[in-house]
Amino acid sequence: MDSAPTNTPPAAALTAVVVVAAGSGERLGYGMPKAKVPLGGDSILTHALRGVAAAGVARQICVAIPPGDPELRNLCETFAQELAVEGPQAPAPGVAVQLPAVTVVDGGASRADSVRAALAALQPEIEAVLVHDAARALTPEAVFHRVSRALAAGAQAVIPVIPVVDTVKTVEAAAADAPAPELVTGTAAREALRAVQTPQGFQLATLRRAHAAAATFDAGQAAAVTDDAMLVELLGVPVHAVRGASQSLKITTPLDLIIAEGLLEGPLGARWVEG
Ligand code: CTP
Ligand code: MG
């Protein structure tokens, strides 16, 4: 058992954080890649990168941006300069300070393609990787630490999760003459359900193996890949779960952006973390 306090970065394997920021942000509807959308005076990507740096777990931060986007490339370069000037956040006692290298790659057509592009650009000494959605821009440091600590304790794969608050049912399309468009086919046992967040942590060799297997997927299978852990599950490797946080919400719709703005401006502040 690891008895370290939850706010202490563990002395983990050499870790990279991959930040996937190459999506188009269609559901947010800003007419620009979601990573550029303003949030509390900065961009969503800037918030995400600052959160990663503040967690202090990364030797390398590798960002996947929309191919050839000069603005987002500049934004990453500005962030790297900001890091060099300010340095990483004060580390916990006994944890070595090291400025993470910042690498930028062109993402791909799908999220999995973007992850693969970033994995190909990791430094040779990297042993473990955390894959994080830029869209989860307000993820608290404690979540990075919980994931890193589980990796340091021997997990091959670990994901942050939160309990599901809604009752979840399965449905199928109803007959044309039915009174409503869908018919309920079952109700999932809610106590066993978890909503999955990022950063998702992996031993690098395991994630590389999982993504290599997925490279042969047909279009339908590829479209069904919504996170990295499911690829590792397909290998039969156990995936462990730690507690996520409600502030780690994925900014997907305009309502999510309003909530994120509220978290930044509200009396609790963005760094509030549930106990
Ligand atoms: N992502 C990526 N490359 C893609 C698609 C998605 O790097 N080809 C990233 C997004 O930038 C985001 C994360 O994966 O940080 C989760 O994806 P999502 O929330 O779906 O973002 P978008 O794809 O940008 O949004 P939408 O699906 O509404 O277009
Ligand atoms: Mg998407």
CA atoms within 13 A on the CB side of 43: 20
Residue 164 has pLDDT above 60, yes or no: yes
Task: Report pLDDT digits (tens) over 170-210.
Answer: 999 999 999 999 999 999 999 999 999 999 999 999 999 99
Return the domain boundaries, the chain: 15-161+194-272
Neighbours of 163 (CB within 10 A): 11
CA of 133, nearest ligand number: 1
Of the residues 18, 19, 20, which should be mutated to test ligand 1's pocket, given the most ligand atoms within 8 Å of the CB?
20
CA atoms within 13 A on the CB side of 155: 25
| CATH topology assigned to domain 15-161+194-272 | Spore Coat Polysaccharide Biosynthesis Protein SpsA; Chain A (3.90.550)
CA of 20, nearest ligand number: 1
H helices of the chain, in order, are 44-55, 70-86, 111-119, 141-152, 204-214, 219-223, 229-234, 254-265
Tokens (6 digits) for 190: 């809610």
Let me know if 198 is exposed, middle or buried by CB neighbors in 10 A (0-12, 13-18, 19+): buried
**pLDDT given at position 2:** 42
Closest-CA residue to 63 (of 76, 78, 81): 76
Task: Report pLDDT digits (tens) over 71-80.
Answer: 999 999 999 9
Mean pLDDT of 225-231: 96
pLDDT band at residue 48, thresholds of 50, 70 and 90? very high
Ligand 1 is surrounded, with C-beta below 6 A, by 20-27, 34-35, 64, 107-111, 114, 133-135, 250, 252
